[in-house]
Amino acid sequence: MSLDSPPAAASRPDLPLSTAQAPPGLVALSFAFAKMSLAGFGGVLPFARRAIVEEHRWMTADEFNETFALCHFLPGPNIVNLSFVFGSRFRGFVGGVAAFAGLVAPPMVLVMALAALYAHYGDIPALRRVLAGISGAAIGLLVATVFRMLMPLIKRRDVAAVLLMVAVFVAIGLGRLPLQLVLLVAVPISLAITLYMRRRAVT
């Protein structure tokens, strides 16, 4: 069976969206993440979520949130972690390398070229105003992605998860507490709540 053809189970409506498409091959992984990185003005995360969840349906919204949460707690850039974890999930270590290469290689070439141009023309006032406007659009993209990732929790009426999210935001964003300290407290609480809710659902 070709990797591009959907499996027979895709016709079952009770299956999650992530099983509705065949697992991507190495070339598809590399090309998909290269496309995300080249389109990702202001950050790749919004474009990665749209491609993985909405366009290709390689993951459900909940699966993407869970995977991104794991990558968020790992050292290094979140989206880079996501590319390797995502690729490894479908094609093992080689798939992780393919997704990582697709994500990093194209923008690296562009950034090197733009850095050379900025070194010569970076002091032009008009260019600085353009960059300031782009930064505003980048923040808007990030906020929109946060709301999209929040919707599955709201639809499930997961009050505990939403309250924990708000508490972490207040602690780090408003209280300016150290990230490591907040994570040391938030992660055990989150795991405890999850285990409690699953046991309660079973019983």
* Rounded (to 5) percent helix, strand, coil in the chain: 80, 0, 20
Does the pLDDT of residue 138 top 90, yes or no? no
Helix axes 78-121, 61-72, angle to 10 degrees: 70
CA-wise closest residue to 32 among 84, 102, 109, 87: 102
Contact by Cβ (8 Å): 11, 103:
no
Question: Whose CA is closest to 63, among 80, 81, 44, 82?
Answer: 82
pLDDT in tens, 151-190: 777 777 778 778 888 888 898 888 888 888 888 888 888 8
| pLDDT at residue 14 in the model | 38
Residue 191 or 170, more confident: 170
pLDDT at 42: 58
**Which pLDDT belongs to residue 110?**
84
Give the domain ranges of the chain: 8-155, 158-203
pLDDT surpassing 70 at residue 4:
no
List, for residues 53-107, the tens digit of each pLDDT value: 988 889 888 888 888 888 877 777 888 899 999 999 989 999 999 999 999 988 8
Is the pLDDT at 202 greater than 80? The verdict is no
Compute CA distances 30 → 34, 36, 83, 169, whole Å.
Answer: 6, 10, 9, 34
Using CA atoms, how far residue 73 sits from 37, 70, 141, in Å, is 21, 5, 22
